[in-house]
Amino acid sequence: MPPRVRAHGARLRAAGSFPARGHLLPRRAPRPRRRRALGGPDGAGAVIIESILTTVNERGAANFAPMGVEWEEDEIVIKPFLETTTFKNLEATRAAVVNLTDDVMLFARGAISDVQLPARAAAVVRGVVLEAACSWREVRVEAVDATPPRARVVTRVVHRGFQREFLGFNRARHAVLEAAILATRTHLLPPEQIRDEFARLQVIVDKTAGPRERDAMALLTDYVRRTRPEQSAAR
Ligand SMILES: Cc1cc2nc3c(=O)[nH]c(=O)nc-3n(C[C@H](O)[C@H](O)[C@H](O)COP(=O)(O)O)c2cc1C
């Protein structure tokens, strides 16, 4: 069992009915006790952008995790579950790099295991930039609301970097992203639902993927086949 699944399983036990991994709460669920970022004039929530978030601990060791963040020009809100390394690092070193990449293999690998990826030092904050990033934002933590089960970490953008073009929409890439999120929910969803969703997503991958997306989907498919629901929930 990959360590990060174990960590979230532990969270599930501790929190009872709370979700165990990322994106398990309805994204637009009203949470009146918290300040919410406003994304537009109609007061709707900010758009969620899927990133590979890099953080470092006090000793400088880097952590790479897929995270959906609330995106605004100068403020980015990160919502890690409290047991994640990401949350601990954000509290400890008060900085992160929000990496935007079109390489969905990194989301697939990050969803099912602890990954170490090629990276270099960030320009302004204490942290690292993913080599595979198309562009990135370096952010500093301004406020932390650590109300369980999921923190709300408000950050300020202090540097923007660009490395290469982010090409247009590709259905297979989006399908792999959805599959990666499903892979983090095997302990919460009925196996038939996971199987049906994967079958639907596989059709899109077959039609529109390149080799990288096909490999990423195969990795996730293999993972969900091997992971029995009780494995992640019971630990
Ligand atoms: C596309 C995607 C988005 C995710 N978003 C979040 C998130 O917003 N918050 C979170 O805690 N976990 C999220 N996860 C799960 C984490 O990436 C990961 O499983 C774990 O929660 C964090 O890893 P860490 O302990 O190394 O920080 C997401 C996973 C995927 C595939």
Q: What local confidence, expressed as pLDDT, does residue 71 receive?
A: 98
Contact 79, 151 (CB under 8 A): yes
Q: What's the maximum distance between 2 C-alpha atoms anywhere in the chain? A: 47
Instruction: Please name the residues in contact with 171: beta carbons below 8 A apart, sequence gap of 6 or more.
Output: 204, 207, 208
Q: What is the pLDDT of residues 96-110, one digit of tens each?
A: 999 999 999 999 999
Whether residue 179 has pLDDT greater than 60:
yes
CATH class of segment(s) 3-162: mainly beta
Nearest CA to ligand 1 atom 13: 22
Superfamily grouping for domain 171-234: Hypothetical membrane protein ta0354_69_121. (1.20.58.290)
Atom of ligand 1 nearest to the CA of 108: 31
Average pLDDT in the 185-209 region? 96
Domain ranges in the chain are 3-162, 171-234
Q: What local confidence, expressed as pLDDT, does residue 45 receive?
A: 83
Q: Ligand 1 in contact with 51 (CB < 6 A)? A: no
Which token pair is 30?
């009203």
Distance 180 CA to ligand 1 centre (A): 10
Q: What local confidence, expressed as pLDDT, does residue 207 receive?
A: 98
Instruction: Please name the residues in contact with 20: beta carbons below 8 A apart, sequence gap of 6 or more.
Output: 8, 9, 11, 12, 81, 185, 187, 188, 232, 233
Mean pLDDT across the chain, nearest whole number?
Answer: 84
List of E strands, the chain: 48-56, 62-71, 75-78, 95-100, 119-121, 128-130, 135-145, 152-162
Q: What is the pLDDT of residues 53-68, one digit of tens each?
A: 999 999 999 999 999 9
Distance 17 CA to ligand 1 centre (A): 18
Q: Ligand 1 in contact with 50 (CB < 6 A)? A: yes
Atom of ligand 1 nearest to the CA of 65: 17
Distance 117 CA to ligand 1 centre (A): 16
ipTM for the assembly? 0.98
DSSP H or E stretch at residue 219: helix 211-226
Contact 5, 232 (CB under 8 A): yes
